[in-house]
Structure 1
Amino acid sequence: MKPYWEDDTVHLYLGDMREVLPALGVQADLVVADPPYTETSLAWDRWPDGWPALVAPVASSMWCFGSMRMFLDRRDDFDTWRLSQDIVWEKQNGSGFATDRFKRVHEVATHWYHGDWHSTHHAVPTEKSGRRGGGEGGLRAGATAREHTGKIAAKTWDGSDGTRLLRSVLKVSNLHGRALHPTEKPLGILDPLIRYACPEGGLVVDPFAGSGSTLDAARQSGRRAIGIEANEEYAEAAARRLDALVFPAA
């Protein structure tokens, strides 16, 4: 199958992921999915039935963006996956449509896997803490278990290298007024998820590529990427975006 756009590290395909992905026959390290949530009447906002099971043979690890309503409504579609954790993306501006509810300024990203967790790539997610230190930080197991963890040994990050574990609530501005796609995710939220679950040089697959933000984030972080987009208008926007990051040969 001929890519719509390609370079040495990124391939973008135009078409329905339910048809394109099986035809590619790829094995990847990570799937990053931002599917239609089916929360509006817009024509493109329609859940592709069966897609979580369809991507399961492609990779044993997946980040999926969504809302709580979406995950509850579609919980049976994730039967082939096991949930490891969730993170909250807090935006500076919300997109709530109702005036009788709290204004929603967040989305959820859930991490799924299948198979053995210990063989599933997951790098320790850290960030600078502002604390001074010159040693090597790391996880340390406490001598006794905390009461609320039962028999699970309490573990903390000692921070001696000036880092701390990355928090599960990530505050990243959305692209309101600048987005190329209605649900485009900023690089600031995609980068830590990709670095956590895909090794450097590994392959990321995005079955709903939109304007190419995941492909962009993967390539900038030293990963390879394959994207599939059903709408040619957005595939073209992704191609232009990726072109802008390609430097001509000297």
Structure 2
Amino acid sequence: MEAYYEDGTVQLYLGDMREILPALGVTADLIVADPPYGETSLAWDRWPEGWLSTAAAYSNAMWCFGSQRMFFEHLDEFRAANWKLSQDVIGHDEDGEPIVGDVNVVWEKHNGTGFATDRFKRVHEHILHWYRGPWGGVHQDVPRTVYTGPDKHARARASRTPHTGAIGGHHYDDDGTRLMRSVIKVKSVRGGIHRTQKPEPLLLPLIRYGCPPGGLVLDPFGGSCATLFAARQAGVRAIAIEGHEPHAEAAAKRLAEPYMTDLFGGAA
């Protein structure tokens, strides 16, 4: 299988992911998927039947973009491929009580779509985290952001606070950072390669959460191949598959351009 573009970090393949992935035979630490939602009459907006089971053969963790309508309509397909939503029970505490995960993210755009006066203006998209097998078998490393509020140093205390299990006495040193929030506000891309192109600052924390250093990210619906650029910034390897050659060609030209260190501490 010959790559449409490749360098030492990323690869781009042209074709249908359901045909390309079996030929590659790779195992990825994380999938970042932005499939066609199948919600419009546009020719390219068609749900690819069977892609979830194909993807399941090559990774046990996945971020998937989509609307609530899309996820509800295809929930049975996720379940049939043994993809579990990260809000499912992921373990039990010392008292046997279930621990429920909540890894899912909302992307808040700077401007939304739709002008109907009988509903709220839509300025967000859902990014749901799915996994297969045991929760402990997938990588999780929540990015941290800089905190500029008052110092929160705390002294040890004997309280037991119920929070996904019992937290006993502890001492907390404020390192000036906080866990990244589940609502991420990033401007939409205007004038990009693909009309649904996702911004790289949005993809970067998703990759850093789900892919370990030196790991491999897989994007089965490459589009603008923004995932490849974000993977470069994160310092991990990545493979994208895109079925529309004009998009693949434009992405390959941009990938071939020199890139430099950016504000996120990686390469842009």
- Give the corresponding residue for 1:73: 73
The answer to whether the 8 A contact 2:142-2:208 is kept is: no
Counterparts of 1:142 and 1:186, CA distance in 2: 45
Deviation at 1:200, TM superposition (A): 1.5
Deviation at 1:152, TM superposition (A): 3.1
The answer to whether the 8 A contact 2:4-2:14 is kept is: yes
Q: 2:210 aligns with which of 197, 216, 224?
A: 197
Question: Does the C-alpha gap of structure 1 residues 134 and 93 become closer, same or farther in structure 2, counting only changes over 3 Å?
Answer: closer
- Give the corresponding residue for 1:188: 201
Counterparts of 2:228 and 2:203, CA distance in 1: 10
Identity %: 56
The answer to whether the 8 A contact 2:37-2:67 is kept is: yes
Matched, 1:83 2:101: no
1:88 alignment partner, SS class: strand
Gaps of 5+ in 1: none
Matched, 1:167 2:213: no
Code of the residue aligned with 2:148 in structure 1: it is G
What is the number of equivalent residue pairs in this alignment? 240
2:104 alignment partner, SS class: strand
- Give the corresponding residue for 1:6: 6
Q: 1:144 aligns with which of 127, 139, 160?
A: 160
Equivalent residues in 2 for 1:94-105, closer than 5 Å: 94-96=112-114, 98-105=116-123
- Give the corresponding residue for 1:126: 144
Question: Does the C-alpha gap of structure 1 residues 200 and 157 become closer, same or farther in structure 2, counting only changes over 3 Å?
Answer: farther
TM-score by length of 1: 0.88
- Give the corresponding residue for 2:254: 241
Question: Does the C-alpha gap of structure 1 residues 202 and 132 become closer, same or farther in structure 2, counting only changes over 3 Å?
Answer: farther
Gaps of 5+ in 2: 87-102, 261-268
Question: Does the C-alpha gap of structure 1 residues 118 and 17 become closer, same or farther in structure 2, counting only changes over 3 Å?
Answer: same
The answer to whether the 8 A contact 1:142-1:153 is kept is: no
Counterparts of 1:97 and 1:21, CA distance in 2: 40
- Give the corresponding residue for 1:26: 26
Counterparts of 1:92 and 1:190, CA distance in 2: 16
- Give the corresponding residue for 2:17: 17
The answer to whether the 8 A contact 1:91-1:174 is kept is: yes
Code of the residue aligned with 1:186 in structure 2: it is P
CA RMSD of aligned residues (A): 2.6
TM-score by length of 2: 0.82
- Give the corresponding residue for 1:40: 40
Counterparts of 1:159 and 1:214, CA distance in 2: 35
Deviation at 1:132, TM superposition (A): 6.5
Deviation at 1:32, TM superposition (A): 0.4
Deviation at 1:246, TM superposition (A): 5.5
Bigger shift: residues 154-163 or 230-239? 154-163
Counterparts of 1:142 and 1:179, CA distance in 2: 54
Deviation at 1:144, TM superposition (A): 2.5
- Give the corresponding residue for 2:55: 55
Deviation at 1:98, TM superposition (A): 3.6
Deviation at 1:184, TM superposition (A): 0.3
Moved over 2 A (4+): 96-100, 131-135, 140-146, 151-159
Counterparts of 1:141 and 1:69, CA distance in 2: 46
Question: Does the C-alpha gap of structure 1 residues 102 and 129 become closer, same or farther in structure 2, counting only changes over 3 Å?
Answer: same
1:18 alignment partner, SS class: helix
